[in-house]
């Protein structure tokens, strides 16, 4: 496969996954905004998606006031923000258009329909339909795209690069969501285990579609240690770091052409496969997740260098 085609397929999938995860981050903020004002700092919840995406300074350089509307406009609809939902879907559609011959007609129709709808989306419409309904729409379009991909594509190299982009992006975003809740929103000692703390962990689980999975796996009150275990180490949780790296390792093996990406993926996978949540908390959850994010970023760079950059003899 040409490196240009593989690159477009990989980033098509990453951009669709990023759009979904941005919707999930905004969903966390919206759910926390529903807390009574006595249980939270004013507007603190709208810092969360800005901090997760690393766009806190960029937002305030453009927007003087942080409100629900201004953050949703910036992270969902702003065409000048390359990480907004609008921009991610536009980029995914352009990636798909560039490789029409490598994806199925159903995939292209789904991408194009999603782009046409987000292109006409306005903040007033989101207010009318409700923010949560909008976030669910974004997630459902991403789910539909993945379902069409799995249901219509040959299991060839094109399929493998699409799946590789999905799971690299998902691992990165799951780690960011968990890190921001634990490190930045960690309540004071008197609030640990209180109503605000419980509600925030519950909002996080719901935002990554893991609330019911948590109840089924642990059958106990929500505890930070168990949430971290579910989203980091359990390979039966679809959005966990372990599950993502299982997929990445298998996909790289299927693609072949061994090199540094396989070594890095194997190293990350081994740490998750044999890791213990008690050891993670002894090290420090923030420190562990920061290290993981650095390694995933390095893995992404090595994938680009190894597969997408033309190598000259």
Tens-digit pLDDT profile for residues 200-253: 788 789 888 899 999 999 988 888 889 999 999 999 999 999 999 999 999 999
CA distance 81 to 20: 16
pTM given for the model? 0.90
Instruction: Give 166-179 pLDDT, tens digit per residue.
Output: 999 999 999 998 88
Q: Are 226 and 182 in contact (CB under 8 A)?
A: no
Who's near 113: CB < 8 A, 6+ residues apart?
A: none
In a 10 Å sphere around its CB, with 0-12 CB exposed, 13-18 middle and 19+ buried, how is residue 105 labelled? exposed
The average confidence (pLDDT) of the chain is 89
Is the pLDDT assigned to residue 196 strictly greater than 70? no
pLDDT band of 47, cuts 50, 70, 90: confident
Section 273-297 average pLDDT: 93
Closest CA to 16 of 73, 86, 97: 86
Domain range list for the chain = 3-308
pLDDT given for residue 188 in this prediction: 44
């Amino acid at each position: 496969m040409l490196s240009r085609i593989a690159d477009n397929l990989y980033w098509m999938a990453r951009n669709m996954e990023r759009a979904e995860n941005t919707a999930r981050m905004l969903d966390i903020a919206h759910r926390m905004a529903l807390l009574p004002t006595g249980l939270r700092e004013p507007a603190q919840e709208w810092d969360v998606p800005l901090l997760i995406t690393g766009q806190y300074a960029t937002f305030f350089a453009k927007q003087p006031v942080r409100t629900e509307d201004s953050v949703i406009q910036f992270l969902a609809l702003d065409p000048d923000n390359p990480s907004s939902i609008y921009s991610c879907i536009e980029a995914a559609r352009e990636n798909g258009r560039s490789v029409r011959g490598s994806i199925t007609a159903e995939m292209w129709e789904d991408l194009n329909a999603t782009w046409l709808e987000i292109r006409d989306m306005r903040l007033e419409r989101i207010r009318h339909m409700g923010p949560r309904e909008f976030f669910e729409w974004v997630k459902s379009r991403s789910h539909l795209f993945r379902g069409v991909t799995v249901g219509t594509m040959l299991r060839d190299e094109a399929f493998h690069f699409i799946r590789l982009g999905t799971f690299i992006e998902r691992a990165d975003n799951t780690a960011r969501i968990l890190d921001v809740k634990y490190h930045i929103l960690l309540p004071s000692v008197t609030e640990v285990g209180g109503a605000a703390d419980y509600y925030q962990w519950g909002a996080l689980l719901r935002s990554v579609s893991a609330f019911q999975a948590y109840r089924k796996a642990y059958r106990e009150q929500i505890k930070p240690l168990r949430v971290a275990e579910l989203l980091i180490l359990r390979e039966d949780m679809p959005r966990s770091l372990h599950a993502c790296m299982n997929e990445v390792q298998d996909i790289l093996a299927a693609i072949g052409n061994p090199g540094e990406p396989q070594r890095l993926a194997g190293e990350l996978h081994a740490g998750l496969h044999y890791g213990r949540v008690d050891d993670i908390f002894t090290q420090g959850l923030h420190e562990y997740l920061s290290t993981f994010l650095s390694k995933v970023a390095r893995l992404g760079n090595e994938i680009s260098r190894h597969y997408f950059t033309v190598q000259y003899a």
